[in-house]
């Protein structure tokens, strides 16, 4: 039997129909092998981060219980992105923080620290990104966040102004 772990996934999109893309991504997460979708946050609108010359993002978070190892889960996330039309051309400088049809990030995995080629968990910038922490705290405030206590602890350290739940907007 495969060991199970909680995994926190950040979802974001700002091209095409972002809300529909996030809903399809949630369905795809729920269909992953050896994985159960435990919770999904509300959707949030956030101004673009890093590169501000693009449309606002729609962001959300999902909490999974999975038997997939971190690298295997990442491979599944990348495949969901690819099926949504995301193309990773390998030119990180031109696409970093750029617009996307879908972005899925493995934010946290079972309280573990993972530092491998192509995968760092906790996500290296999570502790400074309100657009990821706010939806995550809605569904998993007590989830362990190595180096920061819990998700709720980390959220207290960021300014959440400008991260608006769509049903509040």
Q: Is 120 a catalytic residue?
A: no
Q: Does residue 142 have a cis bond before it (omega within 30 degrees)?
A: no
From 42, 82, 103, 168, active-site residue: 103
CA 107/CA 67 separation, integer angstroms: 16
Residue 168: active-site member: no
Residue 59 · residue 107 · CB < 8 Å: no
**Per DSSP, what are the bridge partners of residue 114?**
121
Given the residues 27, 36, 105, 129, the one annotated as active site: 105
105 an active-site residue?
Answer: yes
Task: Give the integer Cα–Cα distance in Å for 18 and 32.
Answer: 21
Q: Closest Cα partner for 99 from 138, 55, 60? A: 55
Per annotation, catalytic residue among 42, 86, 120, 156: 86
Name the helix (H) or strand (E) containing 39: strand 35-40
Token duo for residue 36: 């159960």
Q: Which helix (H) or strand (E) holds 13?
A: strand 5-13
Active-site choice (100, 115, 167, 168)? 100
**Catalytic residue set:** 86, 100, 103, 105
């Amino acid at each position: 039997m495969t060991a199970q772990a909680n995994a926190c996934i950040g979802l974001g999109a700002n091209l095409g129909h972002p809300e529909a893309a996030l809903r399809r991504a949630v369905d795809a997460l729920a269909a992953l092998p050896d994985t159960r979708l435990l919770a999904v946050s509300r959707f949030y609108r956030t101004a673009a981060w890093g590169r501000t010359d693009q449309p606002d993002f729609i962001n959300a978070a999902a909490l999974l219980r999975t038997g997939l190892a971190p690298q295997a889960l990442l491979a599944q996330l990348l495949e969901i992105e690819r099926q949504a039309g995301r193309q990773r051309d390998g030119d990180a400088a031109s696409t970093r923080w750029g617009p996307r049809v879908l972005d899925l990030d493995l934010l946290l995995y079972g309280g573990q620290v993972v530092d491998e080629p192509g995968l760092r968990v906790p996500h290296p910038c999570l502790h400074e990104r309100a657009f990821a922490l706010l939806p995550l705290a809605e569904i998993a405030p007590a989830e362990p966040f190595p180096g920061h206590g819990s998700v709720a602890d980390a959220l207290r350290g960021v300014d959440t102004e400008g991260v608006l739940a769509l049903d509040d907007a």
